[in-house]
Amino acid sequence: MVFLADSSSSRIQRSLGRSMRTLRSNLFRNDPPAGASPHAGSAAVSENLTDSLVDFQLQQLAVGSPRGSDAKSAASSAESVSEILELSRDFSDCSGFSSDISGELQRLASAPPAEAQPSPSASAAADAEAYEFVFALSSSSLEAIESASVESIGPAVGACVEALGASSPELKRAAAAGIRLLAKHRSDFRALIGASGSIPALVPLLKSIDPATQESAVTALLNLSLEEENKKPITTAGAIKPMVYALRTGTAVAKQNAACALLSLSMIEENRGAIGACGAIPPLVSLLVSGSSRGKKDSLTTLYKLCSVRRNKERAISAGAVPPLVELVGERGGGTVEKALVVLGSLAAVPEGKDAVAEAGGIPVLVEAMETGPTAGREFAVHALLQLAAESPHIQRLLLGEGAIPPLVELSQAGSTRAKRKAAMLLGYLRELRH
């Protein structure tokens, strides 16, 4: 892998215009395949930007589950966490994973030239070259970008970093969009960009008053954060608090990509408390309530990861997360039921969560999900009910009143190994209460 500090470093010192000419000659010299639309790759990527980020991160949670627990501790609440992570693999599929979920390739490629031509106040030659670069990049085929070498992309990265420090808002917007696109797919490009000095330059743009600039900065940092070695520099650059600001104030795409970026940063365990302390939980709950289907799924996954910290569980409950979670379980559609059950199971592990679920009418909803839902949903539902009933005679009585014993008996006999074990444990609680 070649970094900016190596053979590319001298080229980054060139003028902006020369960098652009170098990029155009090296990166875009390959014509698209005969008969292919110049935007064919963009459309293909957009079609694949579905549920893969949420599912990919849930699978990563499963891979990263705690190890080394003895048999006794495996039966404790810690075992519940590792098992719920294992269950997540039953409905996870990372085969279509793509970092930037917003479909910006299609949007940039279809933008009319007048949208990004320099304004009279930004008519300097360097600015014009930067805009020309963004258009060349956004209208190029994915094949041209994907087949470029790290050495050939170095000048483009250097030019974008220069432009991020420019006084022109238009030029900053163009540079953020360029980095966003270059960091989209390739790990070696992300590593190169992360080492270029772009991260500290992108962070202030998270609070930009221009929605397009803010969105591109959020998404560029999301894409960069997928490279493991970039996570700590992003955190060190102070990105968490302004990323939360973007989560509160951004466009719909900026909000859901900010949620994904915070999820990515939360893979560093010590970041989870900081993300919660910076106020991320309330806007995540807002995204859960009023976001698109995509936004709700991103919010669910990020909440689940953050709520591995007890204080964040309390913050989520205080922010009103439980009622919309119960509602999502009851909707039985949109691909959010299982994920909502996972988060409810996490919140049910604390006393405040048990009370909140009961007050939101969650007991009958969970019993119904256990009785009539799909296989994976039934397993998540019985896990959540077991968490609720543990050390809570009040919840146990509510379960008896909702007729939970027949579906529990059925699940204990015909469910998966995990479901059988959890159903048997919950039946044990209820039978003790009846006697």
- pLDDT tens, position by position, for the chain (435 residues)? 333 333 333 333 333 444 444 444 454 444 444 444 333 333 333 323 333 444 444 444 333 433 344 444 444 444 444 444 444 443 333 223 345 544 443 343 344 433 444 444 444 565 566 556 655 655 555 667 777 788 888 888 888 888 898 888 988 998 898 899 889 889 999 999 999 999 999 999 999 999 999 999 999 999 999 999 999 999 999 999 999 999 999 999 999 999 999 999 999 999 999 999 999 999 999 999 998 888 899 999 999 999 999 999 999 999 999 999 999 998 876 678 899 999 999 999 999 999 999 999 999 999 999 988 778 888 999 999 999 999 889 999 999 998 989 989 998 888 778 888 998 999 888 888 765
User: Vertex 341, ends 403 and 75: CA angle to 5°?
Assistant: 80
What token pair was written down for 396? 């146990």
Contacts by 23-27 with C-beta closer than 8 Å and gap 24+?
A: 23/133, 23/136, 23/152, 23/153, 23/155, 23/156, 23/159, 24/133, 24/136, 26/148, 26/149, 26/152, 26/155, 27/136, 27/137, 27/140, 27/144, 27/145, 27/148, 27/152, 27/153, 27/156
Q: How far is CA 75 from CA 28, 72, 203, 346, 388, in A?
A: 58, 6, 44, 16, 16
62 close to 89: Cβ distance less than 8 angstroms: yes
Per-residue pLDDT at 13: 37
Q: Answer whether CATH 1.25.10.10 is correct for domain 323-435.
A: yes
What token pair was written down for 85? 């992570």
Per-residue pLDDT at 132: 65
Tell me the C-alpha distance between 229 and 45, whole Å.
Answer: 25
Written as one letter, the residue type at 174 is A
220 CB contacts (<8 Å, ≥6 apart)? 176, 179, 180, 183, 198, 202
User: Vertex 66, ends 63 and 68: CA angle to 5°?
Assistant: 120
Tell me the C-alpha distance between 42 and 12, whole Å.
Answer: 28
**Residue ranges of the domains in the chain?**
323-435
375 close to 390: Cβ distance less than 8 angstroms: no
Give the single-character DSSP code of 204: G
Q: What is the distance of C-alpha 293 from the center of its chain?
A: 13
176 close to 205: Cβ distance less than 8 angstroms: yes
Tell me the C-alpha distance between 48 and 106, whole Å.
Answer: 12
Written as one letter, the residue type at 125 is A
- The string of DSSP codes covering 110-159 is HS-GGGTSPPGGG-SHHHHHHHHHHHHHHHS-HHHHHT--HHHHHHHHHH
Per-residue pLDDT at 125: 60
Per-residue pLDDT at 116: 43
Q: How far does the chain reach from its first CA to its final CA, in angstroms? A: 68
Written as one letter, the residue type at 331 is E
What token pair was written down for 86? 């294992």
